[in-house]
Chains A and B, each alone.
Chain A
Amino acid sequence: MKTIIKLSKINKIIGQEHILKDIDLDIYEGEFVSIIGPSGSGKSSLLYIIGLLDTPTSGSIYIDGNLIDFKNQREIARLRNTKMGFVFQFHYLINELTALENVIVPLIKARVEIGKSKVIARELLKKVGLEGKEDRKPYQLSGGQQQRVAIARALSNNPQVIIADEPTGNLDSKNTQIVMDIFKQLNTEGKTIIMVTHELELANQTNRIISMKDGRIVS
Chain B
Amino acid sequence: MTHILFIALKFILERKRQTFVSIAGVSIGVAAFIVMASLMNGFQNYFIEQAIDLNAHITIKVKPQTVEDKIVRRYYGENVVADVYGAKPEEKKDKITNYRFIISKYSKEPDFLGLAPHLVGQAIVKYSTLEKSATVIGIDPIQERKASVIDKFVENSNINSLLTDRNSIIIGKLLAKDLGIDQLNKKVIITFPNGSQGIFKVADFFNSGITTLDQTRLYINIRTYQAMTNRPGEVNEIIIKLKDVNKAERLARKIGSETGYYAESWQKAYKNFLQLFKIQNYITYMIVFAILVVSAFGIFNIIMMVVMEKRKDIAILMAMGYEKEDIIKIFTVQGLLNGVAGAVIGSVVGYGIQEWLSSINLDVEGLVRAKGFILDRSFIYYIYGVVFAFVFSLVASFYPSYKASKLNPVDIFRSG
Contacts and interface: CB of A to CB of B under 8 A. Distances in A.
Given A77-B321, A94-B313, A109 B409 contact: no
B315 interface: yes
Name, among B312, B316, B324, the residue most crowded by chain A CB atoms within 10 Å (CB to CB).
B316
A80 B317 CA distance: 10
A89 B320 contact: no
Nearest to B7: A105
Given A53-B410, A96-B14, A114-B2, A153 B319 contact: no
Contact of B323 (A77, A92, A108): A77
Contact of A81 (B10, B321, B410): B321
B316 A109 contact: no
Contacts of A44: 413-414
Interface string B381-401: 000000000000000000000
Contacts of A48: 410, 413
Interface in A81-127: 81-82, 86, 88-90, 92, 94-97, 101, 105-106, 108-111, 114
Interface string B11-23: 1011100000000
B321 A101 contact: no
A108 B7 CA distance: 10
Q: How large is the interface on A (under 10, 10 to 19, 20 to 34, 35 or more residues)?
A: 20 to 34
Contacts of A108: 2-3, 6
B195 interface: no
A108 B322 CA distance: 10
B6 A94 contact: no
B416 interface: yes
Interface string B315-345: 1111111111010000000000000000000
B3 A81 contact: no
Given A80-B319, A90-B416, A96-B11, 15 more contacts: A44-B413, A44-B414, A53-B410, A80-B318, A81-B320, A90-B312, A92-B315, A97-B10, A101-B6, A105-B317, A105-B320, A106-B321, A109-B320, A111-B2, A114-B6
Interface of A: 44, 48, 51, 53-54, 73-74, 77-82, 86, 88-90, 92, 94-97, 101, 105-106, 108-111, 114, 153, 165
Interface of B: 2-3, 6-7, 10-11, 13-15, 312-313, 315-324, 326, 409-410, 413-414, 416
30 contacts: A44-B413, A48-B410, A51-B319, A53-B319, A54-B410, A77-B318, A77-B321, A77-B323, A78-B321, A79-B321, A80-B319, A81-B322, A82-B321, A88-B413, A92-B313, A94-B7, A94-B313, A94-B316, A95-B313, A101-B6, A101-B10, A105-B3, A105-B6, A105-B317, A105-B320, A106-B321, A108-B2, A109-B322, A110-B321, A114-B2
